[in-house]
Amino acid sequence: MHTPVLLNEAVRGLNIKKGGKYIDATIGEGGHTEAILKLGGKVLGIDQDENQVKNNEERIKNKDLILINDNFANIEEIAGRNDFVPVDGILFDLGLSMKQLNESGRGLSFKKPEEPLDMRLNPQLEDTAADIINLVNENGLYELIAGYSEDVDSRLLAQTIIEARQMNRLDTVGDLIGALEKKGLNKIKTVARLFQALRIAVNHEKNNLQKALADSLKIMDKNGRLVVISFHSLEDRWVKRFITDRHLKQINKKVITDDRHSFARSAKVRIISF
């Protein structure tokens, strides 16, 4: 079984009670959901990646589990349609699974040079990462990269992409990495931040998260808990802003981090009550 980052901390934060209703808004490979079910909770599992939903349908057989292929931005409508209101707890695990990075074939990992620059978690979304880097003008690219990666080389990255695409269209991970190498911009941190920025833009992650968090308040029981696991400073900042703007209470005064997984050293969990 896949063991998610901060599994125990997140599940404890939900304060599971037998027969309670819990939404796993990003079910992924199902690790959190299985833990909640074992503790006697009922789960509405959501994921915009159809493959993740199908894999869990085949793997987890439990009458207390409902699986939905949708974006968590629609959490209020999904919960209402499935008679899951009020809910006792909601979990948002904002990270990609290793399976998605390694097996999706969508260019989510910069270590897969042969893959297309797609990055859509939902293939029905309109724009791919290739569309963005080949069509957006320099200022637009700079603002996107600076805003969603905060890399000090954001302007140079935008200029490098513009220059490279004038020679040939950048369609694969390898095409983009090759362009960066020519300018000495292929340091792992720089490339990782660029891929982060493109993925956020392609999947509208900021807007979707902000809407989902706000709508979670509308379906939560007054004693419910909201648990959010973020994986980079931008995500965590969006969550902190939500807590502050809504005057919510964070139960864990000290943010819980994960130092057990090298790929998730920046992961943080915030446990929120109402």
Q: For 242-272, what is each residue's pLDDT tens digit?
A: 999 999 999 997 777 765 555 556 789 999 9
Q: Do domains 7-99+205-273 and 126-202 have the same CATH topology?
A: no
Q: For 152-209, what is each residue's pLDDT tens digit?
A: 999 999 999 999 999 999 999 999 999 999 999 999 999 999 999 999 999 999 999 9
Helix axes 205-219, 233-245, angle to 10 degrees: 40
Is residue 95 within 8 Å of residue 229, measured between CB atoms? yes
Is residue 93 within 8 Å of residue 28, measured between CB atoms? yes
Whole-structure pTM value: 0.92
> CA-based Rg of the chain, rounded to a whole angstrom?
19
* Cβ count within 10 A of residue 206: 15
CATH class of the domain whose range is 126-202: mainly alpha
CATH of 7-99+205-273, one of 1.10.1060.10, 3.40.50.2300, 3.40.50.150, 1.25.40.10: 3.40.50.150
User: What pLDDT, on the 0 to 100 scale, is given for residue 1?
Assistant: 47
Domain boundaries, the chain: 7-99+205-273, 126-202
Closest to 76 in 3D by CA, of 246, 208, 212: 212
**Tokens 């869990």 identify what position?**
56
